[in-house]
Chain A
C-alpha cells in the first residue's frame, strides 16, 4: 500500500512568488492535515481538510490556503512568499476520528520549500 506522497520534494521560489504543494493521502483516508516545520523542530498546524471541507485552520495569514479534491488529495498554496516561509511542509492523513487514537497520523516525507 502506498503511503502519503508529497510533491515536489524540493521547491525553490523567489520572494513574492506563489508556491503550490501537493499531497496524496493513503487510500481510504479522508482527512488531510498540513503542518509547517522550521529548523527541524516542532510542527506548526496549518490546515485540516476532511471530506472536501476545511475543518480547522492554524494561526497563519490568509496567504496560506488550500483545498481538498474529491479524491481526497490536497493542495497547499502559499501566496506572496516571504523568506520566513522557508520550511519543511508536511502533509498527514488519517482515518475517521475514532481510529486516529489507535493509528495516529501517517505523514509524508514533506516538501522542502526555500524562499530566496
Chain B
C-alpha cells in the first residue's frame, strides 16, 4: 500500500529556475523526512520535519510540513545541475518505521 504520493513524478528544468515538489497522504504522520538519491547510490537524508506547519531551510532548499501533518513540500530556489536526483519523502507512521513516497525524479539542465 502506497501511503505517500509525490508530484510531479518527473521534472526537467533549466538551471536557475525554481521548483516545488509535493508529498501528499491521507494519513497523519508523526514526522516526515526528505531524502535525495543519486544514480547507483542509496537515498541520503536531507531533513526531518516534526511539527505541523514547520518550515526548515537548507541553503536553497525549503521544506514545509503541513499543518495537519499529512503533507509536505520541498521548494528549490535557483536550481543547479548538482540538484539532479530522485527526491523521496518518507513518513513516520509508528515506531521506528518510515514509509516512502513514490518519488520525484528531477533533472536540472545546464
A residues near B, CB below 8 A? 4, 31, 33, 35, 40-45, 48, 50, 55-56, 59, 90, 92, 94, 96-97, 100-110
CB of B97 within 8 A of CB of A109, answer no
Tell me whether A101 and B45 are in contact in the complex, defined as CB-CB below 8 angstroms, given that A42-B102, A43-B100 are known contacts.
no
CB of A31 within 8 A of CB of B42, answer no
The closest CB in chain A to the CB of B40 belongs to: A109
CB of B41 within 8 A of CB of A45, answer no
CA of A105 to CA of B46 in the docked complex: distance in angstroms?
A: 11
CB of A35 within 8 A of CB of B50, answer no
Q: Which residues of chain B have C-beta atoms less than 8 A from A90's C-beta?
A: 42-43
CB of B33 within 8 A of CB of A109, answer no
Interface members, chain B 21-47 (any A CB < 8 Å): 31, 33, 35, 39-45
CB of A42 within 8 A of CB of B6, answer yes
9 shortest A-B CB distances, which residue pairs? A107-B42, A104-B45, A43-B100, A42-B102, A42-B103, A97-B96, A41-B103, A107-B43, A42-B100
Tell me whether A31 and B96 are in contact in the complex, defined as CB-CB below 8 angstroms, given that A42-B88, A90-B42, A109-B41 are known contacts.
yes
Query: Is B110 interfacial (CB 8 A cutoff)?
Result: no
